[in-house]
């Protein structure tokens, strides 16, 4: 009874703050070992008219069956030049057969072939195993928060899905890709503050998934004190404007790692200001440019800890770049000035 009252109070608090993007807190839980495993697939570029799609679905099935995750995150540019609903239904069937929840955040290409971002999310919301939802009234459509419960039925971690949008909306002054809107940042801050308040003033460990990297990904690669793990084979295709989302994450002090796609030949994980910034591994096969082996990034959260393990699982079973946050990214010891 007390657990139900606590959950009701949390949901009421978030509802009062206008947080429709919070997903049912009962769906995701840490296992008995205190771990929660996520697989990130990205940039599949599925195209039923011209693409090579069966290998993409085969890859997802292969890695999912090998890793047995608790959640699959698809981080954008999933469907191009195809019927999105048909593709989404195929993913739903694949994951439902494994009784596995999944979520999708939109990329810059997803909306370019007939459906708006809002229409795409409305399709996803109707699928029982898909946890993507929409916070109306703010920029983007795929903005949501997924609490992960612990053994005591309380939220112990948060998974944010953030919509990194598409192309600049003020192209006469700023070209390139869009950036997070101020309303998205305020929305994130409110959700983070609500979880922190419910947790006795202590921020819950959180991770965030979105498509387009923000500018701080350059800092993570260029960090001379802490070496990144993985490869950078192309420039970071970030917006020309720094939205301030990363600064908001630092101030809220909950996000310990962010995971993106967009750049098909980058797969590194580095740190900026002690926050891990990671790329996934492109999962599009012949549909997508680049010559890295297809694969997915695995992330294992630890209950009650600001920590996770991560690695790239390649097609065929090879595991590369296995590391742990924060242990694999130690800051250099400061020299005594005395």
pLDDT value, residue 174: 60
The SS3 assignment for 323 reads strand
pLDDT over threshold 80, residue 82 = no
The chain-wide mean pLDDT, for the chain, equals 88
Q: Are 156 and 164 in contact (CB under 8 A)?
A: no
Q: Which of 57, 129, 54 lies closest to 98, judged by CA?
A: 129
Token pair in block for residue 104: 């999708």
In this prediction, residue 168 carries a pLDDT of: 45
Top pLDDT among 182 and 8 is at 182
Task: Identify the band that residue 129 occupies on the pLDDT scale cut at 50, 70 and 90.
Answer: very high
* Cβ atoms within 10 Å, residue 85: 16
User: Degrees (nearest 5) of the Cα angle 146, 42, 319?
Assistant: 95
For 280-315, write each residue's pLDDT tens digit. 999 988 888 888 999 999 999 999 999 999 999 999
Q: Which domains does the chain have, with CATH numbers?
A: 2-306+313-325 (3.60.21.10)
Name the 3-class secondary structure at 292.
coil
Q: What is the CA radius of gyration of the chain?
A: 19
- C-alpha span between 91 and 86 (Å, rounded): 9
Sign of CA dihedral 138, 100, 229, 42: negative
The pLDDT tens digits for 35-52 are: 999 999 999 989 877 778
Tell me the CA distances in angstroms from 15 to 20, 132, 143, one per residue in order: 7, 18, 15
């Amino acid at each position: 009874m007390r657990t139900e009252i606590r959950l009701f109070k949390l949901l009421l608090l978030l509802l009062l703050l206008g947080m429709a993007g919070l997903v049912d807190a009962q769906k995701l839980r840490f296992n008995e070992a205190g771990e929660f495993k996520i697989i990130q697939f990205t940039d599949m570029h599925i195209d039923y008219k011209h693409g090579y799609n069966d290998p993409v679905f085969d890859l997802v099935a292969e890695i999912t069956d090998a890793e047995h995750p608790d959640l699959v995150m698809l981080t954008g540019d999933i469907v191009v030049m195809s019927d999105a609903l048909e593709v989404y239904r195929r993913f739903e069937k694949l994951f439902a057969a494994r009784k596995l929840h999944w979520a999708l955040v939109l990329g810059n290409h997803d909306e370019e072939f007939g459906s708006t971002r809002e229409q795409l999310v409305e399709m996803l919301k109707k699928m029982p195993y898909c946890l993507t939802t929409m916070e109306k009234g703010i920029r983007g459509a795929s903005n949501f928060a997924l609490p992960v419960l612990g053994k005591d039925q309380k939220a112990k971690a948060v998974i944010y899905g953030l919509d990194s949008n598409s192309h600049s909306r003020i192209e006469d002054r700023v070209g390139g890709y869009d950036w997070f809107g101020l309303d998205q940042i305020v929305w994130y801050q409110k959700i983070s503050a609500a979880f922190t308040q419910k947790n006795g003033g202590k921020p819950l460990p959180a991770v965030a998934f979105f498509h387009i990297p923000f500018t701080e990904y350059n800092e993570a690669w260029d960090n001379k004190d802490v070496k990144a793990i993985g490869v950078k084979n192309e420039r970071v295709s970030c917006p020309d404007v720094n939205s301030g989302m990363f600064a908001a994450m630092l101030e809220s002090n909950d996000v310990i790692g962010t995971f993106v796609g967009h750049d098909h030949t980058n797969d590194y994980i580095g740190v900026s200001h002690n926050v891990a910034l990671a790329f996934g591994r492109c999962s599009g096969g012949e549909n997508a440019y680049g010559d890295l082996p297809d694969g997915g990034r695995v992330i294992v959260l630890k209950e009650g800890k600001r920590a996770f393990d991560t690695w790239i699982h390649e097609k065929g079973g090879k595991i590369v770049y296995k590391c742990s946050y924060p242990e694999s990214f130690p800051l250099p010891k400061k020299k005594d000035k005395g």
